[in-house]
Amino acid sequence: MGDQSGRTAVVTGGNAGIGFETARMLAGRGARVVLACRDRAGAVAAANRIVSAIPNADVTTVHLDLASLASVREAASELGAMNSEIDVLINNGGVMELPYERTPDGFELTLATNHLGHFALTGLLLDRLLARPRSRIVTVSSEGHARGVIDFEDLQSENAYKPAEAYYQSKLANLMFTYELDRRLRAAGVETIALACHPGIVLTNLYRTRSRFERALLSPRLRFLNSRFVQSPQAGALPTLRAATDPSAEGGDFYGPPGRGYTGDPVRVESSSRSHDEEAQRRLWHESERLTDVTYSI
């Protein structure tokens, strides 16, 4: 990763896990970083940790609850007031395998947080991104997207909720959103590009709903047993960083660990055939616009 001086990066969920490592490494290379997080105190603590390790780091925080469209709009307004231009928006924040819950807007929590919140935030910040030549929108998906299915007849999982299936659906939505967005950006003739990535398997707070035994299997304490299947948060952040900074990256690229997709240095990888269904991409786009009441200016 080259010098990032003069670039502004917004990282959702940047207070912990791979989001924190992404923010820390960008700040270490000179980027101005904004942590957009639901946990206000956690965001401030994360910013302080980065500045303590990197005294000249430029790190600020904005409150963002992706599960609330009101909060998304407030955060976008604050981010727009802080930044006339944004070089990279990293849609990293997310939840995984939670009990069924409705958001204040009436959406299923996983879909709202992982997809709809980022769809709305990106659209509301698009003018700031378009103002910066070769700006990037990087959305963090998961290797689990391959098991995802977009159920347009029950998008909010009202009829049969299964936590893992809701998560996989939201991660597939991340990729379909990225591909449709990049196609629209190219059709508009602008320089901004949209890319996606996945971190492989990384033990973070996302796994807090798993059993103690499952979390123990992924623990760094068992590195001698699980190193072929589990990455550190630092390594898990590398696909995001490559998508955000690699000069050779192109719109529509998808980065992740090679091979089976669990560990290793990031390379361009192929996503599932379902993620490339253009008709489904357009349908998801229109449904996302309807649900969020956010229309893109391209």
Catalytic (active-site) positions = 167
Q: Is 38 helix (H, G, I), strand (E, B) or coil?
A: coil
What backbone torsions phi and psi does residue 163 show, to the nearest 5 degrees?
A: -55, -45
Residue 207: alpha-carbon gap to chain centroid: 16
Q: Read off the DSSP letter of residue 276.
A: G
**Which residue shows structure tokens 């390379």?**
267
Q: Read off the DSSP letter of residue 202.
A: B
Exposure string (b/e) for 183-192, b if CB count within 10 Å is 16 or more? bebeeeebeb
* CA distances for 281 relative to 141, 162, 251, 277, 297, angstroms: 15, 23, 16, 6, 18
Give yes or no for a contact between 64 and 75, defined as CB atoms under 8 angstroms apart: yes
End-to-end Cα separation, the chain, in angstroms: 30
